[in-house]
Amino acid sequence: MRAWRGTAVVLAAVVATAGCATRKAAVKESPKAASVEQGTGGSAPTGTARWIDEALGFQVTRPNDKWQVDVTGDFTPEGIATPVVMRNQETGAQVVIQVAPAVASPVQFAERLTEGMRSHPGFQTTDPEPVAFSDSAVGFRFAMGDKVNGRVAVLEGTRGRVLMMLATWPSGAPEETLTGVEEVFRGVQPLK
C-alpha cells in the first residue's frame, strides 16, 4: 500500500494542474534549472531550449517559443520530484513533469492513476494504452467535467525511476493544443 501512496500525490498534482489549465497563468523563468542549452540549428525550431536534469536522469526539449519552462525543484516526502512545468500561455495548456521511484511499471502507474481519477466525481478517463513516442510509455486521456481536458503518459526513466507527464488544457482550446502537448511529451527523454 505504501508504494501506491505516491500515486495519490501524482493524482493531487493532476487535480491542481487541471485547475490551473482553466486560466492562462503568468510564467516566470526560474534560475534553478540544472542545465539549459539553447537550440543551435538542425531540426530544432529557433528559440527552442533543452532542459537537462542529470540528477533525475532526464531531459525535456521545449518545442517552440510558445512553451515556457518553469523550474520548480519540488519534492514530496515519498520521493516524487516535480522539477519542471511547461506552459503555453496562448492556449492555457501546461505539462507537469514528475519523476518517481519505479515502485511499479509504467503500465501499473497508469492503471492506478486511472483508477484514482475515476474514483473522483467529475473525472472521466480512457483506459491506459501504449503511446507512440516510446516503447516503454503508456498513457491515457481524461476530462474534468466540461472545463478541462488532459493527457497522462508514464515511461521508464533511468536509475530505477519513472517519468510522468501530466498535461491539462481548457476544453474548447484549439485543436493544435493537443499537438503541442504531444510535442512536449515527445521532448521528454531519459538520459542514457
Q: Above 60 in pLDDT, residue 38?
A: no
Listed by start position, the domains of the chain span 2-190
Residue 120 gets which letter from DSSP? S
φ, ψ for residue 181, nearest 5 deg: -60, -45
Please give the full DSSP string across 81-112, using - where no structure is assigned: EEEEEEEETTTTEEEEEEEEE-SS-HHHHHHH
Residue of 41 and 150 predicted with greater confidence:
150
Give pLDDT, residue 77. Answer: 86
What does pTM read for this prediction? 0.78
User: Could you tell me which of 154, 159, 156 has the C-alpha nearest to residue 57?
Assistant: 159
Superfamily, domain 2-190? Mog1/PsbP, alpha/beta/alpha sandwich (3.40.1000.10)
pLDDT of residue 35: 53
For the stretch 103-116, pLDDT in tens is 999 999 999 999 99
Query: In angstroms, what is the C-alpha Rg of the chain?
Result: 15
Contact (Cβ atoms closer than 8 angstroms) between residue 34 and residue 53: yes
Residue 46 pLDDT exceeds 50: no
Distance, in Å, from the CA atom of 190 to the CA atom of 174, rounded to the nearest integer, reads 30
